[in-house]
Chains A and B, each alone.
Chain A
């Protein structure tokens, strides 16, 4: 349409909508509600997703090197004859002390990478005994100074401190929950026995509480050196755990480390892959549901425009007789649909923001906690653009069919019926 004609199309479209004011307003309301709910639900879902991922990132090492390989080492015979068909039976795996060999050099290598903090851990199952009561825990041997750089364990300590381990090499930090279970007190002594038969008496120098029972009752911290002695694995660590300035670079950093040191290195994304897959499914479900609202709203648009096309058959005939092209006519009705979509979007984004403000004030207590938290909301602009774009597109889609019918109308058919 030429410049003059473009405005003309808009003007005609406006008169059509004005002539069906009530229906137009109803379909506008439909789009508005659709866009508003789209926004509110999207803000909630994405807000909670971010919140969840943040917790996920904070609750585990961003990157972790473990004492295993992704591929089993090649047997000497295979190394000798890489292309031969070799069948070996009764192979005895070489037995050696488990753990990351030369972990100190490997740590230095990792610590040299910018934005990466690393700490060694040696973990192993031991039995805690106090007053005849036994309790199995995972004992983590750590270097307190390094550990506080890579985890939030310090924040979880409710009595004593991580550094107390440095002061007392026979110190141990256990979960607050175990106090009740074993009947021991802060500062008391517990006996540790390892599967290898080592038995030691340790003094409780700290208590932690994470809120997760499995951790609070199932883990304990000692000095790395002590753990190496108890587990009989001198100079070994079985995990190197890392925290990054930018947790979202974990994947590439993990790949780089694994390539350099060969030990299996996992990013938090890899560790949480099935959880994030659930998030993707959740997003698909959410967007289908809120989009369905907009699809329903577009039926309203289809209705108005169909009615207008029916009512304005004479006008369409005269426009085409005068010399309007099929495209010109189609555009008039597409304009009408998109105008409803666009106006509905503007009002809908406004109403959606109001809904978000209300939702943002809702306070809930999460199960297992006593603190009030606000619903996590995502305020991003992109979801408003997405909602509006989807509304306008589905409006145009709804208008398309009546618009095409109008465009294909032959003026002579109407003239024949009239004169």
Chain B
């Protein structure tokens, strides 16, 4: 297994009259095809960590490597280019463009990247949406869809440019049980069957079970990092992580 994402000594402090430490001294390594869950109490820095790993935020200290590349010296546009081609995001609140159809929302990153010819983009977008059970909805507007459907559109959009890593911040946070399971199954299918690396933040122990690795954050630090199969997955106990 080869490494796709690596962080060393990541620290992010928001400057201000009273500086706020979001995450402190986080180091981790994630391999291709891993399905990694991130859990922790509210305010423990899960989203903050995801933004740093997703190259959306710049660390105060430490570095992130994506696919072997040190991103610390990259400029804003180079980082944007990396996000476009290699990362896909799914946020807790779907963040779709309200004026565009489902299909156009999924086409957005492909148009921007422009690596596929025009017809290829359409075919791929339709295929992705069909795979996610949205074949009948492609011409609808996001506000004509249910929360679960919207989240699946966001997943399709995250997949659009065939990224190395998909990062999802509480993708099931607002969904009912059935929709949650659906989203969980889709993400694990990407990891298991399509060789994608998936990084998901969740509060839902059920959802966390789907992953094959669990990182627990407390107060902006890694409290544990290990298999999901262990009892701590349900939040019972924290085994001491191997150094």
Contacts and interface: CB of A to CB of B under 8 A. Distances in A.
Interface of A: 2-5, 7-8, 11-12, 15, 18-19, 314-315, 317-328, 411-412, 415-416, 418-419
- Please give me the 10 A-B residue pairs with the lowest Cβ-Cβ distance, nearest first: A323-B84, A15-B99, A4-B111, A2-B114, A412-B57, A323-B83, A318-B95, A4-B114, A8-B111, A419-B92
B91 A415 contact: yes
Contacts of B112: 2, 4-5, 8, 322-324, 328
Contact of A326 (B77, B114, B118): B77
B62 to A, nearest CB: 16
A225 B77 CA distance: 88
A417 to B, nearest CB: 11
Contact of B56 (A4, A8, A411): A411
Contact of B47 (A7, A317, A321, A415): A415
A315 B97 CA distance: 6
Contacts of A12: 97
B80 interface: yes
A418 B108 CA distance: 22
Given A3-B114, A4-B118, A321 B77 contact: no
B100 A324 contact: no
Range of interface residues on B (Cβ < 8 Å): 35 or more
B34 interface: no
B210 interface: no
Chain B interface mostly: helix
B195 interface: no
B99 A8 contact: no
A325 B77 CA distance: 5
Nearest to A327: B77
20 contacts: A2-B112, A2-B114, A5-B112, A5-B114, A8-B112, A11-B104, A321-B83, A321-B95, A322-B89, A322-B112, A323-B80, A323-B82, A323-B84, A323-B85, A325-B76, A325-B77, A326-B77, A327-B77, A415-B51, A416-B47
Interface string B156-180: 0100000000000110000000000
Contacts of A328: 112
Contacts of A3: 114
Contacts of A314: 95
A18 B99 CA distance: 9
Interface string B63-102: 0000000000000110011111100010111011111100
Contacts of B157: 322
Given A3-B114, A325-B80, 9 more contacts: A15-B97, A317-B95, A319-B108, A322-B83, A322-B89, A322-B112, A325-B77, A412-B51, A415-B91
Nearest to A413: B57
B113 interface: yes
A20 to B, nearest CB: 12
Given A2-B114, A415-B47, A419-B47, A322 B56 contact: no
A318 B95 CA distance: 7
A325 B81 CA distance: 8
A411 B93 CA distance: 14
B147 interface: no
Contacts of A321: 54, 56, 83, 89, 95
B170 to A, nearest CB: 7
Interface in B92-143: 92-93, 95-100, 104, 108-114, 118, 121
Contacts of B57: 412
A7 B104 CA distance: 12
Nearest to A14: B99
Given A4-B111, A5-B114, A320 B80 contact: yes
A323 B89 CA distance: 11
B57 to A, nearest CB: 4
A15 B100 contact: yes
Q: Quick one: which of A4, A321, A322 has the most chain B CB within 10 A?
A: A322
B109 A323 contact: yes
Contact of B91 (A5, A19, A419): A419
B80 A324 contact: yes
